[in-house]
Amino acid sequence: MRWQVGRRRLQWEDTPRVRLMGVVNVTPDSFSDGGRFLTPARAIDHALALLAAGADVIDVGGESTRPGSQPTSADEELARVIPVLEGLRARVDAPLSIDTQKAAVAAAALAAGAEIINDVSALADEGMAGLAARTGAGLVLMHMRGTPLTMQQGDLSSPDIVGDVVASLAAAAGRAQAAGVAPEALCLDPGIGFGKTPAQCVALLAGLPRLAALGYPVLVGLSRKSFLGALTGRPVGEREAATVAAHTVAVLQGAHLLRVHDVAAAADAVAVAQAARAAGVGP
């Protein structure tokens, strides 16, 4: 398994370790860390701390995707993320990712030094796939039902949530390739919590091997999400132990990358779960 990200390649044959994508939300309202890293200096310091703790990739986002959140304008998003990406690019060599649904924001972010587009809408913006094709950027396609404003509304039931997500992401990967994106630039993400019930989030963990069977690297974002609150009864600030447990499950189920807030805790979960997997635990 490999992921071509701009000029570099992440390979799991040589280095099977699950990679950690550290989250830097430059937003006033993200559900777990909104408002904490709103100035560029704070966001950059936080990213450097995540890298020091072992993050392999830094994911910078300027638009909250918490359930019910309103869209952010492109100008506002750019003002939040570009100084952070430029500042980081000047200081570190680690791959940088831009968490955006807008091709215009992604284009400016790539020019500022990002090498990965993390698109939680899986190509809702028509310009996104062409941009990824032209630039050779890595492209994360995440599954979401509806938009952040609407995704937890209405009937979320499904007879086969795993089948829905796998089919939808396979179709998105096909659209990306039709626009010229290399298959090895793609990475798929089941979109835990994005228009899913807590039971469906757990079902998606159980179904990760079906997603991995599509042949692309699989990224999973579990950190502090509300399904963990539903399972444990804990508020967002007290979900780190549940997050570690969920990370352990995801690694045993074959995830290639985890998108995390607490890198040090996730790295420990990865170390234990990968040792167990190598010894035969898991699918």
Residues of this chain that interact with ligand PMM (CB under 6 A) are 23, 25, 30-32, 65-66, 99, 118, 120, 140, 142, 189, 191-192, 219, 221, 259
Please say which residue, 29 or 184, places its beta carbon nearer to ligand PMM: 29
In the complex, the smallest distance separating the C-beta of residue 270 from ligand PMM, rounded to whole angstroms, is 17
The two tokens of residue 129 are: 């796939």
Nearer to ligand PMM, 113 or 138 (CB): 138
Q: Closest separation between CB of residue 90 and ligand PMM, Å?
A: 24
Q: Which residue is nearest to ligand PMM (CB)?
A: 221
CA-to-CA distance for 131 and 179, rounded, in angstroms?
Answer: 9
**Tokens, residue 169:** 């992401």
When the beta carbons of 170 and 276 are compared against ligand PMM, the nearer one is: 170
Identified catalytic residue from 102, 224, 259, 277: 259
What are φ and ψ of residue 135, in 5° steps? -95, -20
196 is catalytic: no
Q: Say which of 145, 224, 225, 277 is annotated catalytic.
A: 225
Cα dihedral: 142, 85, 79, 34 (round 10): 60
Residues in the chain: 283
Closest to ligand PMM by CB, 82 or 119 = 119
Residue 259: active-site member: yes
> In the bound complex, what is the minimum distance in angstroms from residue 200's beta carbon to ligand PMM?
14
Residue 173, both tokens: 């990967």
Q: What is the rounded CA–CA span in Å between residue 157 and residue 173?
A: 24
What are the DSSP calls for 202-252, one per residue? HHHHHTHHHHHTTSS-BEEE-TT-HHHHHHH---GGG-HHHHHHHHHHHHH
Select 12 or 276, whichever has its Cβ closest to ligand PMM.
Answer: 12
Smallest separation (angstroms) from ligand PMM to the CB of 19:
13
Nearer to ligand PMM, 59 or 78 (CB): 59
Residue 99's nearest CA partner among 221, 181, 208, 251 is 221
Q: Nearest distance from residue 30's CB to ligand PMM, in Å?
A: 4
* 104 three-class SS: helix
Residues 6+ apart with CB under 8 A from 45: none
CB of 36 to ligand PMM, least distance (A): 11
Q: Which residues of 155-169 are buried (b: 16+ CB within 10 A; e: fewer)?
A: eeeeeebbebbbebb
Which residues are designated catalytic?
A: 225, 259
